[in-house]
């Protein structure tokens, strides 16, 4: 038992290590843009990132180029200095908001002013580092932010795939229902659906006329049994099938019309269940087979 537990724990550790290594590999592939008007700061950050294993690094000392660069490359992270001449980091973030319509700004701000930190976060930045740099802190914050960014993108992609799948399945379901309805109309006189209590909820075709029911006074909420004048033994057999959630095929039952003649109806039905396997009613097709039955009886 202990050996089995040890083996399971070892496997879980290996799985975690493998997943963690894969995540780190994806993080190191992230594209990063460094924005600072001081060349020394740019070089320091570039050196630190390359030493940590990041390979896709771009830098600029002109804040006016940040928006067009991000529009062209969609960086995973922008290291943005707030204190720059002509155009500061806050103005850059305002420009980025216009192209990041989802509301997520992948910006980590760099500032020497403690008072600017809260304002930067309120402007949309996701994190900040202080000058002078603590390289370990900078590297840790970059890693953490990229990990969140990666998971955010994966979730966004998953939601898009899920949404597309739902749209495709919905379209397939509608197409299937339309095809089913078309086939039932070709092969029968009417299509019907009933709720769990046996009341009609959907009817296609002249079913009420065939059953001698005044549809204007029922709103569709009428069971077959309630129409009256059925052959009692046949009615019991049909209701037994429905009560036990059994499908039935070409079941023929009869009713006596007001003029005393017999009418024969043939129905097929199947139980319906929802996604939780709960019974929600029946659906099926039917047709008037009186002429056929009379011919058979005359033979």
Phi/psi of residue 249, nearest 5 degrees: -125, 125
Domain boundary among 116, 145, 162: 162
Q: pLDDT band for 129, please (50, 70, 90 cuts).
A: confident
Contact 177, 272 (CB under 8 A): no
What pLDDT digit, counting tens, does each position of 135-151 carry? 888 888 899 888 888 88
Q: Do both 55 and 134 map to the same domain?
A: yes
- The answer to whether residue 17 scores a pLDDT higher than 90 is no
| Structure-model confidence comparison of residues 104 and 164, the more confident one | 164
Please report where in the chains the tokens 């590999």 appear, as a residue. 25
157 and 198 within one domain: no
Residue 128 lies in a domain: yes
Q: Where is the domain boundary, 127, 162, 197? A: 162
What CATH number does residue 214 fall under? 3.30.450.20
The answer to whether residue 153 is domain-embedded is yes
Number of folded domains that form the chain: 2
Q: Is residue 9 part of a domain?
A: no
Residue listed under structure tokens 């976060």: 121
In a domain, 182, yes or no: no
Please check whether residues 149 and 32 belong to one and the same domain. yes
Residues 205-210, mean pLDDT to the nearest whole number: 65
Residues 42 and 126 in one domain: yes
What is the C-alpha to C-alpha distance for residues 87 and 40, in angstroms, rounded to an integer?
19
Cα distance between residue 200 and residue 190, in whole Å: 12
Q: Which helix (H) or strand (E) holds 34?
A: strand 31-35
Q: Are 118 and 68 part of one and the same domain?
A: yes
Whether residues 60 and 114 fall in one domain: yes
Question: How far, in Å, CA of 132 to CA of 45, rounded?
Answer: 12
Residue 19 has pLDDT above 70, yes or no: no
Residues 54, 101, single domain; the answer is yes
Same domain, 158 and 209: no
Question: Are residues 151 and 205 located together in one domain of the fold?
Answer: no
**Among residues 76, 79, 66, 70, which one has the least CA distance to residue 28?**
76
Is residue 264 within 8 A of residue 189, CB to CB? The reply is: no
* Other Cβ atoms within 10 Å of 49 Cβ, number: 23
pLDDT at 216 over 70: no
The answer to the question of residue 70 being in a domain is: yes
> Is the peptide bond between 293 and the residue preceding it cis, with omega within 30 degrees of 0?
no
The CATH number that applies at residue 83 is 3.40.50.2300
For residues 89 and 65, what is the distance between their CA atoms, to the nearest angstrom?
12
Residue 8 lies in a domain: no
Give the domain range for residue 289: 188-298
170 lies in a domain?
no
Q: Are residues 150 and 202 in the same domain?
A: no
Under the banding of pLDDT at 50, 70 and 90, the label for residue 6 is very low
Contact 211, 254 (CB under 8 A): no
Do 231 and 128 lie in a common domain?
no
End-of-domain residue from the set 162, 179, 214: 162
Alpha-carbon span 78 to 32, nearest angstrom: 6
Q: Does 226 score more than 60 pLDDT?
A: no
Identify whether residues 194 and 108 lie together within a single domain: no
pLDDT value at position 99?
86
Cα–Cα dist 127/79, whole Å: 10
Helices (H), 128-254: 135-187, 207-211, 232-243
68, part of any domain? yes
pTM of this structure:
0.50
């Amino acid at each position: 038992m202990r050996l089995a537990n040890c083996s399971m724990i070892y496997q879980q550790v290996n799985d975690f290590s493998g997943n963690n290594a894969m995540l780190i590999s994806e993080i190191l592939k992230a594209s990063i843009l460094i924005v600072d008007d001081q060349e020394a700061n740019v070089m320091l950050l570039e050196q630190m990132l390359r030493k940590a294993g990041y390979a896709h690094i771009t830098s600029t000392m002109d804040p006016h180029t940040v928006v067009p660069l991000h529009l062209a490359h969609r960086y995973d992270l922008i290291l943005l200095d707030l204190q720059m001449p002509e155009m500061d980091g806050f103005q850059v973030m305002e420009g980025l908001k216009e192209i990041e319509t989802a509301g997520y700004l992948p910006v980590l701000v760099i500032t020497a002013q403690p008072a600017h930190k809260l304002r930067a976060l309120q402007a949309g930045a996701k994190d900040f580092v202080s000058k002078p740099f603590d390289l370990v802190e900078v590297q840790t914050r970059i890693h953490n932010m990229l990990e969140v960014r990666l998971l955010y993108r994966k979730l966004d992609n998953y939601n898009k795939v899920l949404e597309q799948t739902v749209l495709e399945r919905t379209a397939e379901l509608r197409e299937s229902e339309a095809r089913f309805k078309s086939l039932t109309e070709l092969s029968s006189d009417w299509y019907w659906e009933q709720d769990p209590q046996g009341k009609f909820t959907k009817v296609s075709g002249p079913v009420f006329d065939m059953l001698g029911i005044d549809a204007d006074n029922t709103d569709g909420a009428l069971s077959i049994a309630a129409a009256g004048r059925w052959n009692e033994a046949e009615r019991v057999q049909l209701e037994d099938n429905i009560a036990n959630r059994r499908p039935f095929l070409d079941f023929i039952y009869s009713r006596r019309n007001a003029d005393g003649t017999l009418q024969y109806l043939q129905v097929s039905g199947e139980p319906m269940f929802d996604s939780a396997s709960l019974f929600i009613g029946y659906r099926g097709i039917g047709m008037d087979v009186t002429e056929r039955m009379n011919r058979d009886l005359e033979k």
